[in-house]
Structure formats: C-alpha cells, structure tokens
Structure 1
C-alpha cells in the first residue's frame, strides 16, 4: 500500500516541479516578449518616417524639386529606398520572432492549466502516508521521505537536461543549415569573382537569401536554448552577434559593394557560425554526460 502511495507521490511531485519550471519559463518568455514589443514600436516609428521620406521624394514637393535642382534627386531617392528596405526587413524579422515567441507562451499557458490542483492532491496523499508509516513504523518515515525527494529531484533534473538537449540540437541543426547555405554561396561567389556571369551571381544571391531566412530561425532558437539552460543553472558563452551577421546582407541594398567585399563578408559570417557550432556542440556533450550521471544515480536508489 505504501509503495503505491510512494509511486503516486513521486509522479505528482514530478508534475508539480514541471509546472513550476513552466511558470519560470513563462515569466522569462513574457519579459522577452515585452522587450521585443518595445523594440517593434521603435521600428514602427522609424518605418513610418522612412516611408514618408520616400514618398516626399517620389512626389512633386518642394523637397523633391530642390534635390532635382541640385542634381541629386535620383541618388537621394535611391538611398532613401535602401534605408526603407532595411527597416522593413528588420521590422518583419522582429515580427516573426514575436509571433513565434507568442506561440511558445501560449504553449506554456496551456501546459500549466493542465497541471492545476496538483498541490492539494499531493498534500492529501502525503498525509495518508504519514499516518500509515507512523502507525506501523514511524522510524522509517524520515529516511523514506528523504529518499523519495531525492528521486523526485533526479527525475526533474533528467527532464530539464533532456529539454535543454532538444533545444540545443535544434540550434545545431539550424547552424548546420546556415553553414551549408553560406558555403554554397561562397562557392558561387568564387565562381562569380572568376567571371561566372549573371547565373553565378543569381545563385549566390539565392543561397544568401536562404541563409538569411535560416538566421531568423536561429535567433529564436538561441533564445529558447538559453531559457532551457537557465532551468539547470547553466548559461551559453557564445560570441555570435546575430544583428551584425544580418548586416552581412546589406549588399542587397547597396550597389557600391564589390563582389570581393561580398565574398569577404561571407567568410566572416562563416567564422562566426563555425565558432558558435563548436561552443554549443561542446556544451551539448557536457549536458549528455550530466544526463548519464543523473540516470545512473537514480538507478542506484
């Protein structure tokens, strides 16, 4: 009878720990979402300004007439359109991250709602167990309670480590896809430098466009991985500046960049991605060792 109660107590306590961890993740995700919305509001203001600047030059206004008079209207309009394109890209990129984070928050809320009323169930069972042990052999109560808590803690650690491993492997997969796209772009870029012509240039831009989309995913996955690491008191020590990596695509908006400069930017981006890959891969190896240690310990109890 006591064995059955112990088993049920462990199951419920594990779920209670899961609910508490979900609540911590929910709080962290909400704080991050709040910061992203503030950043989005600033970008929205900047976007409206850039749109206004472009329209004022496109239409027949005093501003456009003046620039036409001094002979720099076309250049000014081109620069303003480039600035508008950059801000539009950043705005839509940020909006995509916000939508994905909101989906994650909704998932946490749904999971937490499904784990309600566990505390009262746990307390009821615990009182039943206390009464049974005390009436039969109260000297066993303290060591058994301590043993159960140790099992609960180990199972909670195993669950959190597994979640961190899953999130980390998602980052690794994203980095591999980005490396693949950038390496392909680098190859086409080399061919372009050797006079490959329009086709090689188009292929290079196509692969860079693919890498750009995957870097969007990487930002979200890195943030998610960091939140999982916090649950097991770890952190990621990585010098990957996603914003500067994204600036690597500026040449899409600026015709003054030479093919050689583009090729150089590809190589610098690859260095950052490769460095991030090594760091996270090493960290996942450490997590795997910790998982095996916890699994071994729980089998010894």
Structure 2
C-alpha cells in the first residue's frame, strides 16, 4: 500500500493551523461585539455624567434650583448627594473606558494572529485535495468513499444554496407585505376617525393611505412571485396572490355618509386580515426554510468532517 506519511505530517500541521485560525476568528467576533457594547456604555455614561455635573453646577451656583432644593431639605445635603452621584458615574465611566482600551488591545493582538494565519484554511484545503486525488486514483478503498462524499457534498451544497435563496426571497416578500399592512393600518386609523366625524380631512387621509396600500400591494405581489419561483426550485409549487385593494373606496367619496363610512371601515379591516394571513404564511414558510437549511448545513458539516477524517486522520 502506498505510504502517505509525508503528506499526513503536513496535513496534521496544516489542520492545527486551520483550527487555530477558526478559534481566533471566533474570538475576534466575540471581542468586536464586546467593543461595541463597551462603546455604547461609554457614550451612555458620558451623557449621564454631563447631566449629573449639570445638576451639581446648578446647585453650586444657587438660583431657582437651589431654592427648590432648600425647600426640600438641606441644600448642602442635596449638593453632597449630587456630587457623590456624579463621582459614581465618573468612576463607572473610567472603568468602562479602561475596559474599552483593554478590549481594543486584545482586538489588535487577535488581528495580528489572524494575519499570520490568513492562508491557513486554503493551505489545509490544498493538502486535502492533493491527498484526495492520490486516494481516488489508487486502489485504496478510502478513495471510493471519498468519491461518494464528494457527490453528496455537491448535492447538499446545491440544496443549501437554493434553500437560502428561497429564504431570502421570502424575507423580502415579508417586508413588502409589512409595508402594505402599515399603509392599511394608517387607512384603518383614518377610517375610524371618519366614523366619529373626521369629515373631509379624514377622508383625504384615508384615501391617501389606500392609494399607497394599493401601490405597495403590487410591489408585494412582485416579491411573492419571486418567492414562488425560488420555492419551485426546491420542489414546492405555490401561487400566492395578494388580496386586492378595493378601488371602489375612491368612488365612495361621492356617497359619504355613516353607512358608507362603516362599509369602508369593514373593507379595510377585512383586507388587512387577509394581508396579515398572507404575511403569516410567508413567515411560517420562511421559518420552515430556515429549519431545512439548518439541517442541510449539519449534513454538509458532517460530510466535510468525515472527508477530513479520512484524509487527515
């Protein structure tokens, strides 16, 4: 049997470098999040300190604030308390600024480590590919398993890509439907006002919201059409249709009374419910796609791990 000792030694070293790269990448993400958090805390504490120092300054200068403080008790006691509160905020601010500096130093060190290992994953993949070709081209039984793994990996990667594309299309459709619901919500609010006597202004607002809802509904339908095509790619055939925005609302201006106002209000409510139902269907479908994509990602990772086990184990 062919000896693979030299390339196996290289693979072990390359795998360790790749794993170190993965660890540093994860740490880099974590520290970046911590820096964002610390930055927000510093900004909040700086604003808080300005307020606290302002309170102290007003009490020190006297005036109306000091007069009110005197009515509530000892002005000096209040001043001492405000100074203590300002100092407490100042201490917290110093602590968070120090923490932020530490985190930034950690991030710089991580970036240095990442720069040294920048090509570690590519180097490991190249060595894996080299050994894979050697095994596939030999009589080694591992070669046959590698061929099957490669086939399954290709299928899984394609399925995962198609599910992710469908999920993104669904998210876009959900956003478009949300815009329709917002317009209908505005129309419903104006319609409620119209019912209790909003008059011409309420009518104008209502009709404006409805025109925007009608336009948004066409955009949502376009997004749903794209979503349907992406779903067809993964074997799900649907023809989702947005509920129609009733253009008779605009003609109702000529017959404006409490009865027609109530009818318009009911139409808006029914349309809103139908649009919301479509939104729920999109949301549930997107969740299903995300779940399936997660399963495919697990399958892909297991295949990749098995391939690496064969080649570098």
* TM-score, scaled to structure 1: 0.52
CA distance in 1, matches of 2:136, 2:238: 48
Aligned mate of 2:227, from 196, 217, 225: 225
CA displacement at 1:199 relative to structure 2 = 1.3
How far apart are residue 285 of structure 1 and its match? 1.1
Residue 138 of structure 2: aligned partner: 136
**In structure 2, what is the equivalent of residue 159 of structure 1?**
161
Distance 2:138 2:144 in 1: 14
Q: Distance in 1 between matches of 2:222 and 2:140?
A: 52
Contact 2:159–2:296 (CA<8 Å) still a contact in 1? yes
Mapping of residues 72-151 of structure 1, within 5 Å: 133=135, 135-137=137-139, 139-151=141-153
Gaps in structure 2 of 5+ consecutive residues = 8-129, 304-313
Aligned to 1:252: 250
Q: Distance in 2 between matches of 1:210 and 1:176?
A: 13
For 2:209, the equivalent position in structure 1 comes to 207
2: CA distance, partners of 1:159 / 1:131: 26
Residues 5-26 of structure 1: per-residue CA shift (max 9 Å, x gap): xxxxxxxxxxxxxxxxxxxxxx
> Which residue does the alignment assign to 2:218?
216
Q: What is the CA–CA distance in structure 2 between the aligned matches of 1:183 and 1:162, rounded to whole Å?
A: 31
Task: Quote how far apart the aligned CAs of 1:300 are.
Answer: 1.1
* Distance across 2 between alignment mates of 1:136 and 1:207: 71
Query: Cα deviation per residue 1:7-58 (whole Å; 9 max; x = unaligned)?
Result: xxxxxxxxxxxxxxxxxxxxxxxxxxxxxxxxxxxxxxxxxxxxxxxxxxxx
Q: Aligned equivalents of 1:187 and 1:131: distance in 2?
A: 68
- Shift of the 251–139 alpha-carbon distance from structure 1 to 2, 3 Å rule, reads same
Query: Is the partner of 1:137 in helix, strand or coil?
Result: coil
Residue 300 of structure 2 aligns with which residue? Answer: 298
How far 1:195 moved relative to its partner? 1.1
How many residues of Structure 1 are paired with residues of Structure 2 in the alignment? 173
Q: CA deviation at 1:132?
A: 5.3
Quick one: structure 1 residues 154 and 130, their matched pair in 2 at CA, closer, same or farther if it must change by over 3 Å? closer
Q: How many Å separate the matches in 1 of 2:221 and 2:186?
A: 21
Find the aligned partners of 1:293 and 1:282 in 2 and give their Cα distance: 17
Cα root mean square deviation, aligned: 2.8
* Length-normalised TM-score, structure 2: 0.50
What does the per-residue CA deviation read over 1:108-162, in whole Å, with 9 as the maximum and x for residues that have no partner?
xxxxxxxxxxxxxxxxxxxx99985565335344321110011111111111111
| Superposition deviation, residue 182 in structure 1 | 0.5
- Pair 205,154 (structure 1): closer, same or farther in 2 beyond 3 Å: same
Deviations 1:169-227 (Å, cap 9, x if unpaired)? Answer: 11111111111110111111111111112211111111111111100101111111000
**1:283 matched residue in structure 2:** 285
Aligned to 1:185: 187
Match for residue 194 of structure 1 among 196, 199, 203:
196
Quick check: which has more Rg, 1 or 2? 2
Partners in 2 of 1:214 and 1:170 — Cα distance? 13
Distance change in 2, residues 1:267/1:131 (3 Å): closer
Instruction: Describe how 1:267-282 pairs up with structure 2 within 5 A.
Output: 267-282=269-284
Q: Which runs of 5+ in 1 are unaligned?
A: 3-127
Structure 2 vs 1, CA of residues 135 and 265 (structure 1 numbering), >3 Å: closer, same or farther? closer
Preserved CA contact (<8 Å) 2:136 2:146: no
